[in-house]
Amino acid sequence: AHARWHVLLGNLHPVAVHFPIALILCAFLCELGAIFTTRSVFSDAARVMIVLGAVTGIGAALLGWFAAEHVNYPAELMRFLWWHRAFGIATVVLGTAAAMASEVSRRPTAASAWRAAYRLLLLAAAIVVSITGYLGGTLVYGPDHFAW
């Protein structure tokens, strides 16, 4: 019964990963909107999205660990699984750090460096989640899935 739950949870990974990917990337786009327009609606939206992206990223990563227990990739894809896992962990760390920095930067007594740190962490999270998603696509569709 234990293994059946792990398989079920692992099978939910492909569904769950789309939320943090979209939320982190949209948080980054909204923060760019805040930078270029100075409208608070963009920074408020980014704040909500990065927090939700961090939380759903943790869940997606946990489901990914269950998924990895039951995969049987050819040897050539196993290195992609390793990198996908490493970048997935980095996504969770960066997304969570960005969410925390966002919250700290909004305190009235916060130094302006917190806003810069938040934006750099958000940029890094957006880049790393993109790489993680690409590597996940490689596991599903093969190493040449972007070949023209």
The pLDDT tens digits for 68-100 are 988 888 888 999 999 999 999 999 999 999 999
d(CA 70, CA 27): 33
DSSP letters, 34-73, are: HHHH--HHHHHHHHHHHHHHHHHHHHHHHHHHHHHHT---
Specify the pLDDT at position 135: 96
Residue stretches of the chain with pLDDT short of 70: 1-2
Write down the H helix ranges in the chain.
2-11, 13-16, 18-37, 40-69, 75-105, 113-141
Taking the C-alpha atoms of residue 66 and residue 80, their distance in angstroms, rounded to an integer, is: 17
pLDDT of residue 145: 87
pTM over cut 0.85: yes
